[in-house]
Structure 1
Amino acid sequence: MGLHINWNKSFIYPVNTVPNIEDLAYKLGGKVGELPTTYLGMPLGAKSKSSGIWSGVIEKCERKLVNWKCQYLSSGGRLTLVNSVLDALPSYMMSIFPIPAKVTKRLDAIRRNFLWKGSEDKKKYHLVKWEELLVSKREGGLNIRDLSPQNKSLIMKWLWKFASPEVSLWKEVITAKYGMEDKWMTEGVTSLYDCSVWRSIRNLWLLVKDRTKCKVGNGEKVAFWNDIWCGQETLKHAFPELHSLSQAHEASVADLWTGQGWNLHLRRNLNDWEITFIARFHDTMARATNLTEEQDRLI
């Protein structure tokens, strides 16, 4: 028969002021809800940087401790529970929202105290600095997750997905709302009235861009002078003399490729002493691959 909407369990959440919202809810059979709320385990309508949206994560960690403290666990057993459970519980929220320093400090305290004290309520000394336990076992630590860089890594995955060639509805919505700065990423969110989740995500774009280079396919998204795609630096920095002479500073790779070579759109003919620049340029570009029908992507 297929799935049907159960209106008795459904809510209508108005954004700002919605006239006749009660009449609409009555006709549909649902109820009028209030923001903020929770949807699929995520806060909806709350401030993304608020510490309050993390209260559920902290409560889950504390409930786990109540059950674990009822049984005897060795130090190795407590470490296993910290790494497999307590480290994983915040991951769902950390994949979208920036974790406040206050919440990080509280979760660190929960993990740290359980690791050293276990089921004992009396005070016990922490024999090793917490920061030293966060490094890998190869470097002498216990490989306990450092929440702040883990949070950044999970959030930056959205930027990686946004810059990927795949087509998604959420990417179209973000693009339509914020506009594009270049072929890879949206404009920065600078409005004081637009403190959105995307603003926190977009602020990490430079960290992603500085650690990637472009793999050229059809050349339509890769900026010829400004992106790293041939060698270990941009062509603007590798050949500053030719860049200053070019009239196509914002051109893509596809714009300057003629099918047989490169047309830099120089504003004048080269002098004799500048021939070495163009010779070195052609030597470098000889290693560049020909264009294909595939889309450009980051690597």
Structure 2
Amino acid sequence: MVKWDTLARPKEFGELGFLDTRAMNTVLLAKRTSHIDGCEDSPCIKILEKKKVLERNFFRTSHRGGSQFWQGLQEVKCWYERGRGCTVNCGERVKFRKDVWLGDCALKTSFPYLYQIYRERQCSVADAWERDWSLEFRRNLGQEEMVEWADLSGRLE
């Protein structure tokens, strides 16, 4: 029995060069996800809204139920979110700690100690902006958190 990874390697490396259909499917679903994320007037969005599965932000929808297409979109959603950047605009659709909107990666990745004790996990950039970047933590900040807080405060100003 031969592993699929071996069969899918390119012919230049002495293998058979089969197409990796899972990777192709993931890329196509991610492309569709980018259309949902960036274009309010796309036919895909209109269909999903009529089926009542897209009543709110796509990235806050649940994984349960729906067609195979919808379930596939939900499976690649996390993968897509890791690599996307955000334009903040008014900030209501951009998650403060999970989306890439300040720098090259999400704030939860840049400041891991700080976001382990951050109280509001689903806060948007608009919510944090309205409070003048006054973030609430579950406990007092330790030394690592103070260093990260100083760095984050500097970036936010």
What is the match of residue 257 of structure 1?
129
What is the match of residue 80 of structure 2?
208
Per-residue deviation, 1:197 = 3.3
What is the match of residue 117 of structure 2?
244
Change (3 A) 1:141 1:279: same
What is the match of residue 20 of structure 2?
146
Change (3 A) 1:196 1:262: same
Code of the residue aligned with 1:278 in structure 2: it is W
Which structure has the larger Rg?
1
Map 1:71-220 onto structure 2 (within 5 A): 132=6, 134-141=8-15, 143-175=17-49, 177-179=52-54, 183-185=57-59, 187-191=61-65, 194-210=66-82, 212-218=83-89, 219-220=91-92
Q: 2:81 and 2:97 mapped to 1: Cα distance?
A: 15
Count of residues in correspondence between the two structures: 151
Code of the residue aligned with 2:134 in structure 1: it is L
Per-residue deviation, 1:143 = 4.2
Instruction: Determine if contact 1:180/1:186 at 8 Å carries over to the other structure.
Output: no
Is 1:222 paired with 2:76? Answer: no
Normalization by structure 1: what TM-score? Answer: 0.39
Q: Deviations over 1:220-254 (max 9, x none)?
A: 321012223334543235154466355x4422223
Normalization by structure 2: what TM-score? Answer: 0.65
Instruction: Determine if contact 1:135/1:142 at 8 Å carries over to the other structure.
Output: yes
Per-residue deviation, 1:190 = 1.9
What is the match of residue 279 of structure 1?
150
Which structure's residues are more often strand, by fraction? 1
- The RMSD of aligned alpha carbons is 3.9
What is the match of residue 82 of structure 1?
none
Unaligned runs of 5+ in 1: 1-128, 287-299
Instruction: Determine if contact 1:241/1:277 at 8 Å carries over to the other structure.
Output: yes
Unaligned runs of 5+ in 2: none
Q: 1:133 and 1:231 mapped to 2: Cα distance?
A: 39
Q: Deviations over 1:127-150 (max 9, x none)?
A: xx9865632355344644233322
Q: 1:245 and 1:202 mapped to 2: Cα distance?
A: 26
Q: Deviations over 1:22-75 (max 9, x none)?
A: xxxxxxxxxxxxxxxxxxxxxxxxxxxxxxxxxxxxxxxxxxxxxxxxxxxxxx
Which structure's residues are more often helix, by fraction? 2
Instruction: Determine if contact 1:156/1:204 at 8 Å carries over to the other structure.
Output: yes
Change (3 A) 1:154 1:277: closer
Q: Deviations over 1:79-135 (max 9, x none)?
A: xxxxxxxxxxxxxxxxxxxxxxxxxxxxxxxxxxxxxxxxxxxxxxxxxx9865632
Instruction: Indicate the SS of the match to 1:153.
Output: helix
Q: 1:200 and 1:272 mapped to 2: Cα distance?
A: 41
State the percentage of identical aligned residues: 21
